[in-house]
Structures are given as structure tokens and as C-alpha cells.
């Protein structure tokens, strides 16, 4: 496999009111700088950028993503603090796209057919895919002709079998509306799984992993021989673990019960997505640090919220241990997974009987650093690995566009 010349890859994550970006030198995997535009469409927006030549902070009104992208282009080539000498240095653009439906199992070069498919999946991700499309269109306006690649959050989980992705609902709901488990955070799970193999010195073909992406949004994935075979998020990111403000799994009959008592569908949708989870159960915060501080003061709601969070994670780990039969490592990543030292201890406590044995001293001493926090004799390694979805997107874009693949015989 021949490696192409060095290229600068711009990674874009376009949200409904934000635009985040980072520039990588590939294949060196070196970040040259990054930034974001926040509060797009509001009166007081802000652009921030940091790089080797210093930082930029600009407060302005960004009426739409077009204005935001133009400002990003100006910041990238700023004479004093820019990341680039000229915008033409960008050789490729990689985009985070939330939903690829059943169409995409890999990252793809963007063309009209891909754009149409992303549009077709808007009904599955109405808050995200439109913003992702806007980012693609505005990048094309700013840098016409530069090749673009779509990296889908759902793609990694397309290797799940019907056993894992079908719900126990009438078949017509899948046949007609494609209601099934899709899973999310796929780019993060894929990145940390690859790093875990590097750390362990193993190959994907003989390694099984459970990757725990724990943050304000949280999901767990069972990975067998490099392939996702099950994941906790479902048709939407609401299913699975209890999260910062999302409820995670609960009895769906509760919704009907509350509808009968005057709650509207909109009330319930807002409640289970934005007012539940750590925030709703504690009544204090969705930030783990706030809850840890409150629990140390003995505030019962905080203690219970943290215990429920850990309990839900343990349940999924146990289920995936059974599904995989042999698990070589558990990986913790995401804001909570990487930095939540006490939460990792809560989760791993009581898992010793299934071969997950934490070195509690190493867990505390190493903190947020990458590496193993398990006992040397633990049958299953416990790893802390910082995720880097932006780098994974840059790697995908570079490999897809510039790495020459061997000719098929």
C-alpha cells in the first residue's frame, strides 16, 4: 500500500448552531490548529481559534453557516495568527455526518448520490443531518473542487446482525419505516478500539473489546474481531445508558401513563431528552464534577444518581461479556470515561467475578492519562484511552483519497 504525499486535511463538524474545525497534517496525524464558531444565528456569536501562531477570539453576529464558514476561512489564513498561508493548502475536507442509515457502512467520498442519501436520512436525524449537509455545501462554496469525505456516526455499527438490531415490534415497522437499532458514536468507538490494539500489541482478528464512550452522551459497544456486533444506543441516541440529560432505557408504558395524565408528546420528548439522566435524577446538574462534589457532602440525590449511572454501565458490560464470551479489554473514553476516576472505580467494583480486576491505585495515580488501570493478572485489561474523532475523520479522508490501494488480482 503506497502512501501519498503530505496533505492538509480540514475536519468539519457542522451543528445546528455551531461549526467546529481542525486542520491535520497527514499522514503525520499532526494537528496544526483548531477552532469553532458558536451561537450561529444568535445576536452574539463567537469565533475562537488556536494554533502554533497564537489564538484568535472574535465576537460577531454570524447570521448563518455561510457567514460562519467565510469567517473560518479568514481565520485560517489570518496574517498574524493563522494556521495556513493560503486556503489552497487544504487538500481534502472530512465531515462528521451523524446518520448514514443502512446505506453506509464506511466513510465515502461525497458526490451528488451521497448528498441525496444524506438528505434521505434527514427523517432519522432531523436535528443533525440538515446541519451536516449545510457544512458540506458551505465548504464547497469556500473551497470549490476540494474533495470532501463523509464519515458517519452510524457506519461502524452496520456490521450488527439482525439479532442485535431488530426490535420486538411488528415487522412492518422495520420494512416500512426502517425502525431498528442504528447506534451512534461509531467514529469514537472505532478510534479507541484501534488504539487499544496498538497498546495491547494485538490484532483485531483475535481480539474482543468492550468500548465505553461515557460523556454527556454515552454508549457502549461490543467489538468482536474488529467489528461492532452490538451497541447500546438504538433508533435514536436516547436508548441505552442513562446519560447527562437523557433517560436511557426505561419502560415505554410510562409514556402512555403520563399522556393519560396531561403530558403532551412534546413535553415527554423534551423530558426524556433534556430533563432526565443525571440532571433529572439528581436535580442538581448533568456535570459529573458537580455531582461528585455534592456526593462528598452526602447529598442523597447526587449519590443515587451516580450509583444509577454506574449500575447501568455495569449491566451493559455484563451483557456484552456474555455475548462476546471472551473479552480481552474494556476501554473507557469520553469526558466521563477518561476523566471520571471515581466513576471508573464505581463501575469496575463488583466486576471482579467476571475477570475485570482494577488496579485502584493505578486508576487514581494515572488519572486521565492513556494506559492500563487493571491488575497485571486481570484476565480482562482495563484501558483508559482519550478519543479523537477529529483525527479519525482526517485519517479516513486521507486514506480514502490519497492512499493507493493494491490492484485486485
- Residues marked active site are found at 153
DSSP β-bridge partners for residue 22: 11, 34
Cell numbers placing 14: 457542522
Q: For 135, phi and psi rounded to 5 degrees?
A: -60, -40
Distance CA 242, CA 309 (A): 6
241 touches 218 (CB < 8 A): yes
Neighbours of 205 (CB within 10 A): 7
51 touches 83 (CB < 8 A): yes
Buried b (16+ CB within 10 A) or exposed e, 49-62: bebeeeebebeeeb
330 touches 212 (CB < 8 A): yes
Q: Which of 57, 14, 58, 61 is nearest to 42 (CA)?
A: 61
Q: Which residues contact 110 (CB under 8 A, 6 or more apart)?
A: 95, 136, 147, 148, 149, 150
307 touches 282 (CB < 8 A): no
Q: Is 213 exposed, middle or buried (0-12, 13-18, 19+ CB in 10 A)?
A: buried
**Eight-state DSSP code of residue 407:** P
Q: Which of 205, 8, 6, 204 is nearest to 93 (CA)?
A: 8
347 touches 362 (CB < 8 A): no
Q: Which residues contact 397 (CB under 8 A, 6 or more apart)?
A: 9, 11, 26, 92, 93, 94, 107, 149, 151
Distance CA 339, CA 139 (A): 34
Distance CA 91, CA 96 (A): 17
Cell numbers placing 216: 454527556
Amino acid at each position: 500500500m503506497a502512501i501519498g504525499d503530505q496533505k492538509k486535511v480540514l475536519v468539519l463538524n457542522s451543528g445546528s448552531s455551531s461549526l467546529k474545525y481542525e486542520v491535520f497534517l497527514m499522514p503525520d496525524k499532526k494537528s496544526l490548529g483548531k477552532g469553532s464558531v458558536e451561537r450561529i444565528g444568535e445576536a452574539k456569536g463567537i469565533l475562537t481559534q488556536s494554533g502554533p501562531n497564537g489564538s484568535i477570539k472574535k465576537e460577531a453576529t454570524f447570521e448563518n453557516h455561510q457567514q460562519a464558514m467565510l469567517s473560518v476561512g479568514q481565520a485560517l489564513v489570518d496574517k498574524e495568527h493563522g494556521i495556513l498561508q493560503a486556503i489552497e493548502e487544504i487538500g481534502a475536507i472530512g465531515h462528521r455526518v451523524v446518520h448514514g442509515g443502512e446505506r453506509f457502512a464506511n466513510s465515502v467520498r461525497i458526490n451528488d448520490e451521497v448528498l441525496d442519501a444524506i438528505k434521505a436520512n434527514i427523517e432519522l436525524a432531523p436535528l443533525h443531518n440538515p446541519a451536516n449537509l449545510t457544512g458540506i455545501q458551505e465548504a464547497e462554496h469556500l473551497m470549490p473542487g476540494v474533495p470532501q469525505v463523509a464519515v458517519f456516526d452510524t457506519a461502524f455499527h452496520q456490521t450488527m446482525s439482525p439479532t442485535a438490531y431488530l426490535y420486538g415490534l411488528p415487522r412492518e415497522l422495520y420494512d416500512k419505516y426502517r425502525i431498528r437499532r442504528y447506534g451512534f458514536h461509531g467514529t469514537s468507538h472505532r478510534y479507541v478500539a484501534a488504539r487499544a490494539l496498538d497498546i495491547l500489541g494485538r490484532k483485531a482478528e483475535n481480539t474482543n473489546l468492550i468500548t465505553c464512550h461515557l460523556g454527556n452522551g454515552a454508549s457502549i459497544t461490543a467489538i468482536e474481531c474488529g467489528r461492532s456486533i452490538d451497541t447500546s444506543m438504538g433508533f435514536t441516541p436516547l436508548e441505552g445508558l442513562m446519560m447527562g440529560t437523557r433517560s436511557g432505557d426505561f419502560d415505554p408504558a410510562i409514556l402512555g401513563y403520563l399522556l393519560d395524565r396531561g403530558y403532551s408528546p412534546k413535553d415527554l420528548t423534551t423530558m426524556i431528552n433534556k430533563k432526565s439522566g443525571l440532571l433529572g435524577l439528581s436535580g442538581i446538574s448533568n456535570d459529573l464534577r458537580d455531582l461528585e462534589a455534592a456526593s462528598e457532602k452526602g447529598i442523597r440525590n447526587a449519590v443515587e444518581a451516580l450509583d444509577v449511572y454506574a449500575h447501568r454501565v455495569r449491566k451493559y458490560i455484563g451483557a456484552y461479556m456474555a455475548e462476546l464470551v471472551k473479552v480481552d479489554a474494556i476501554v473507557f473514553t469520553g469526558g466521563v470515561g477518561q476523566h471520571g476516576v471515581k466513576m471508573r472505580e464505581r463501575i469496575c467494583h463488583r466486576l471482579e467475578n467476571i475477570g475485570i480486576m482494577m488496579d485502584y491505585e493505578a486508576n487514581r495515580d494515572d488519572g486521565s492519562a492513556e494506559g492500563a488501570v487493571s491488575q497485571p493478572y486481570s484476565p480482562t485489561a482495563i484501558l483508559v484511552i482519550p478519543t479523537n474523532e477529529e483525527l479519525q475523520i482526517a485519517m479516513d479522508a486521507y486514506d480514502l483519497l490519497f492512499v493507493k490501494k493494491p490492484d485486485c488480482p
